[in-house]
């Protein structure tokens, strides 16, 4: 039995006895790890979860708690929406971006109703109420909300729009912590042992390269945990690891706010690479610019320093944030009109403020230092089209298109100008939908699985991301990985080389 | 001694004797491999090069052969240009993009004059003649040409522009094959053995994880080649591996032309990953749209389907190609005017043709199906600024700015419309500038080195790429890797486990 560090198999175990042993050892107790543990326990496995922090929860416990589900959930139905597997698939395959995994999307869609039921079985409650206003989450305990680009150009042509963001019955941003409480309680009730303050350091591999356990540091000492059947890496992404981000996704570092918990340091990804797994999609990240709420700001236009529009402003705030951050350091502005001025009574969520004003478009343009007849022309064309009832240039939804009348104001939304750009990573271990970690050739590493942001999962594109795809992915594919791990063959535990 | 496949160390060698042995074993005989072999031989090492094809040359032998050099080469001086390390560094650090490696750029710049001398010592001749017209290469046997964005906005503000593309004395696109002839002849003269028709399959690693050789398939049989000191992977990029490109850089697959030789299949990258190395920058690629020659087309404007400009059209054709491909499937057009019509007597290199015409901008706009007063407004503003002598919106160089007068024509340059978008990959193994392959933690894999597109080298950004950076990188850092490999400690060759 040899112990690998996070990068490569080498060296011998310092101890020749195991401190703990279970059928399935899960690294990380966020949404993916807890769901994996529950599913493995449901399949009859003994399960140990290793959590680096002093309590489970992970980044999901810090999140708003939206879960992307559809195909006609009881909540969708109760709120009067009809959804189909076809519509959900067509939407998600585009939302997943150019790197979409059709098999993963298909499984996720076909399992969505079952996943809703599973969440309810874990103790989740969902209030059958739809929140109709464009927002980043439901402000009260309403369940259902649009959380992506479903009704927007580039998506609505292919799939009838329907809201699929589901939040458990908690107020505002409390959905994630409630979800984690339920999942951890369910896991514990099923006999899962959670070892907190225990940081996984490497896999333990046998002479054939199969993973048979984890070496960890627990409360100040090195311990070895044997995994009779499998190890499942669910330790999150790498947004907190500055070195990894600068190497793999440097564009995420331009005046952004890191969205994660301190243990989203890529350690689970590195442990998997050390065991022979491959990484993929490491350059991608989620970025958002929460320019709404208030929803009225969707009626504004976004322009660059040439006064040119570049996007349909009714898009999801993640698509907007990605577009602007990808064009960094180009300057960008949100242009609002007289109808919006009262919206500034309360500071907008996005962290930006008015940087220029003008009674006319020409005055605003001049105050912004733009060339004459650039922004003014953009507003003129936009207004002409708005009077005709649409936006043929960028096909912003007609609900948000109206002529913009002076006086005008512009808010700078360039990264670094004060605007708020939260980011996290969307790359990780290459894995099958059922969790098996693969090497660059596509071969599975025996005994090694992964789910959640530790792997490259369902959400693969900042431009297409919808809120709820990460927690949806972590819980759904965590379940699949837990089941696969529990069914993985028992391996011989040699305790000395 | 265990034999690894390309993905992971496992299994035993089938044979317990070596077919060949050398101090340094180089995989691949393109520009990087040949330069590595020469440098290792110069340092006193015995060297074997394994080449999958029936002859050395690699992709460099198919290339125009430009080499990016500066700091006042004899050719720059003879042609009346003065260059400095500061200017070259400031340019290259920006050309390398957000993922630039300052140490690598510094070494490359400081070693540039020495590299010129080294190339001459290998038999290269450079004709001291400057080709002043914007082009993708020198059409005759002239040596010196601008091959990037040196004189363009975003670069010229930081470093005085100077041409640094150097082609050996060969006509037109013959520079690459000539370079490879010289390098292979030099290597052979120094005692380097080149085994052609020999495809490396995996590293051979000892029990400590150090690389001690290569398992290969040579003329129909499996052979083992021992490396007393080091293996250097110089087997090229992965643009020919559809599966790898779709997983790591799917954006490169939208109606592009694969620019490489059939063995740019990522095998060297996969061999390095299998030995525990990490990959990086796998999402990046070089893309170009050779919209010039003729240089007069630089006076044209490029617009999207909204009639909006998006770039300074005097930029390097690689920067243009990247910008358009990244916005796929958005449609793009090159708008030319009466002054350009004779340029269509010969089909432009870029493969596009006139798709709409108009006596006036309004007619052209309508024929292109654009909204009224979009393209026409763009041309009006461009012309107004041109009459004032500049392009304040995108800061295209004044040399190429003049009012565009009807009749107009537009050529579609959308990928898939017939326009020519050659692409290759810019990601590979993570390595030190001196060649040591690193794992995800930054630890070197003992005995394993890499150079050229097998590794992530100097060029890391399609938007910043300059012609000559790849061959410059491959030859320069190949030399460093060859020296490092020759100085690597001798390892014990156990021939059975």
Task: Answer yes or no: do A99 and B208 touch at CB < 8 A.
Answer: no
pLDDT tens-place string over residues A265-319: 999 999 999 999 999 999 999 999 999 999 999 999 999 999 999 999 999 999 9
- High-pLDDT (> 70) share of chain B, %: 95
Write the burial class of residue A472 (CB in 10 Å: 0-12 exposed, 13-18 middle, 19+ buried). buried
Any CB–CB contact under 8 A between B269 and chain A?
Answer: yes
CA distance B378 to B306: 10
B394 touches chain A (CB under 8 A): yes
Q: Which two tokens stand for residue B496?
A: 């059975």
pLDDT-derived band of residue A341, with 50, 70 and 90 as boundaries? confident
Q: Is B371 on the interface with A (CB under 8 A)?
A: yes
The model carries a pTM of 0.94
Residue A470: what pLDDT?
98
- Spatial distance between the Cα atoms of A337 and A108, rounded to a whole number of angstroms: 42
Q: Is the pLDDT of residue A8 over 70?
A: no
> What confidence tens digit (pLDDT) does each residue in A60-108 have?
999 999 999 999 999 999 999 999 999 999 999 999 999 999 999 999 9
**β-bridge partners, A233:** A27, A450
pLDDT digits (tens, 9 = 90+) for B194-211: 999 999 999 999 988 999
Asked if B209 is an interface residue toward chain A (Cβ–Cβ < 8 A), one would say yes
CA distance B127 to A288: 53
pLDDT at A351: 76
User: B360 in contact with A at a CB cutoff of 8 Å?
Assistant: no
Q: How many residues does chain B have?
A: 497
Using a CB–CB cutoff of 8 Å, tell me whether B306 touches chain A: yes
Dihedral over alpha carbons A462, A465, A469, A473 (to 10 degrees): -40
Question: In the predicted model, is pLDDT for residue A3 greater than 70?
Answer: no
Q: What is the pLDDT of residue A10?
A: 35
Judged by DSSP in three states, B417 sits in coil
Average pLDDT, chain B: 94
What is residue B52's predicted lDDT score, i.e. its pLDDT? 98
Chain B residues in contact with A244 (beta carbon < 8 A): 440
Query: In a 3-state reduction of DSSP, which class is residue A322?
Result: helix
What are B279's two structure tokens?
């990959």
Residue A148 has pLDDT above 80, yes or no: yes
For an interface test with A, give the residue of B247, B266, B310 to mutate (most A CBs within 10 A): B247
Among candidates A7, A251, A276 on the partner chain, residue whose Cβ is nearest the Cβ of B443: A7
For position B15, what pLDDT does the model report? 44
> Which whole-number Å values give the CA distances from B250 to B113, B240, B416, in the listed order?
38, 13, 15
Percentage of chain A lying above the pLDDT 70 cut:
95
Distances (CA, A) of A332 to A145, A321, A411: 28, 11, 9
A-chain residues within 8 Å CB-CB of B437?
A: none
Q: What is the pLDDT of residue B16?
A: 55
Residues of chain B scoring pLDDT < 70: 1-16, 345-348, 494-497
pLDDT at residue A14 tops 60: no
Instruction: Confirm or reject contact between B96 and chain A (CB < 8 A).
Output: no
Given phi > 0 = left and psi -120 to 50 = alpha, else beta, which region is B461? beta
Q: Which residue of B has its CA nearest to A394?
A: B306
Q: Are B271 and B204 in contact (CB under 8 A)?
A: no
Note the residue count of chain A. 497
Q: What is the DSSP letter of B100?
A: -
Q: Are B361 and B407 in contact (CB under 8 A)?
A: no
pLDDT at B454: 98
> What's the distance, CA B349 to chain centroid?
19
What was the pLDDT predicted at B74?
98
| Token pair for B183 | 């390098």
User: Do B381 and A393 count as a contact with CB atoms less than 8 A apart?
Assistant: no
Closest to A6 (Cβ–Cβ): which among B6, B246, B441? B441
- The 10 Å Cβ neighbour count of residue B346 is 9
Q: What is the CA radius of gyration of chain A?
A: 24
Query: Cα–chain-centroid distance for residue B193?
Result: 27
Structural contact between residues A67 and A472, judged by C-beta atoms closer than 8 angstroms: yes
CB nearest to A8's CB, from B209, B243, B251: B209
* Facing residue for B393 by CB, picked from A98, A248, A306: A306
pLDDT score of B132: 97
Parallel, antiparallel, or unpaired for β A257-258 and B444-450?
Answer: unpaired
Residue in A40, A31, A61 with CA at minimum distance from that of residue A191: A40
Tens-place pLDDT, residues A223-268: 999 999 999 999 999 999 999 999 999 999 999 999 999 999 999 9
Quick one: tokens of B187? 């290597």
Contact between residue B50 and residue B27 where contact means Cβ atoms under 8 Å apart: yes
Q: With 80 as the cut, is the pLDDT of residue A9 above it? A: no
């Amino acid at each position: 039995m040899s112990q690998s560090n996070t990068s490569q198999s080498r060296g011998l175990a310092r101890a020749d006895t195991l401190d703990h042993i279970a059928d399935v050892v899960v690294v990380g107790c966020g949404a993916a790890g807890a769901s994996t543990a529950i599913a493995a326990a449901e399949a009859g496995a003994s399960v140990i979860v290793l959590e680096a922090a002093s309590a489970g929860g992970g980044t999901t416990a810090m999140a708003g708690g939206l879960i992307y589900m559809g195909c006609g959930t009881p909540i969708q139905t109760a709120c009067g929406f009809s959804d189909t597997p076809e519509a959900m698939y067509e939407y998600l395959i585009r939302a997943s971006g150019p790197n979409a995994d059709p098999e993963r999307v298909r499984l996720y869609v076909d399992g969505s109703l079952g996943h809703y039921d599973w969440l309810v079985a874990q103790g989740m409650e969902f209030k059958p109420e739809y929140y109709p206003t464009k927002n980043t989450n439901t402000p009260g305990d309403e369940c259902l909300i649009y959380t992506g680009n479903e009704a927007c150009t580039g998506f609505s042509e292919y799939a009838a729009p329907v809201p699929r963001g589901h939040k458990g019955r908690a107020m505002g941003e409390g959905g994630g912590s409630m979800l984690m409480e339920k999942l951890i309680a369910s896991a514990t009730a099923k006999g899962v042992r959670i070892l907190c303050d225990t940081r996984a350091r490497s896999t333990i591999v046998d002479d054939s390269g199969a993973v048979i356990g984890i070496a960890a540091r627990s409360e100040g000492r090195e311990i070895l945990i044997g995994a009779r059947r499998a190890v499942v890496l669910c330790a999150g992404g790498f947004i907190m690891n500055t070195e990894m981000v600068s190497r793999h996704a440097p564009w995420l570092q331009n005046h952004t706010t890191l969205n994660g918990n301190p243990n989203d340091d890529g350690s689970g990804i590195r442990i998997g690479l050390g065991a022979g797994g491959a990484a993929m999609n490491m350059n991608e990240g989620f970025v958002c610019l929460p320019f709404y709420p208030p929803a009225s700001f969707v009626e504004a236009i976004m322009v660059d320093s040439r006064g040119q529009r570049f996007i349909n402003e009714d898009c999801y705030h993640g698509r907007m944030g990605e577009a602007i951050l990808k064009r960094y350091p180009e300057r960008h502005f949100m242009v609002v009109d007289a109808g919006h001025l009262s919206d500034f009574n309360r500071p907008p969520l996005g962290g930006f403020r008015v940087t220029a004003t003008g009674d006319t478009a020409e005055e605003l343009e001049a105050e912004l230092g733009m060339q004459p007849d650039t922004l003014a022309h953009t507003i003129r064309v936009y207004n002409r089209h708005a009077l005709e009832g649409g936006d043929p240039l960028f096909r912003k939804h007609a609900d948000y298109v109206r002529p913009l009348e002076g006086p005008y104001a512009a808010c700078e939304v360039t990264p670094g100008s004060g605007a708020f750009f939260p980011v996290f990573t969307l790359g990780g271990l290459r894995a099958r939908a059922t969790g098996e970690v693969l090497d660059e050739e596509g071969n599975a590493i025996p005994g090694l699985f992964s789910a959640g942001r530790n792997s490259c999962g369902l959400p693969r594109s900042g431009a297409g991301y919808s809120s709820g795809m990460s927690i949806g992915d972590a819980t759904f594919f965590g379940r699949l990985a837990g089941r696969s791990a529990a069914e993985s063959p028992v391996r011989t535990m040699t305790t000395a080389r």
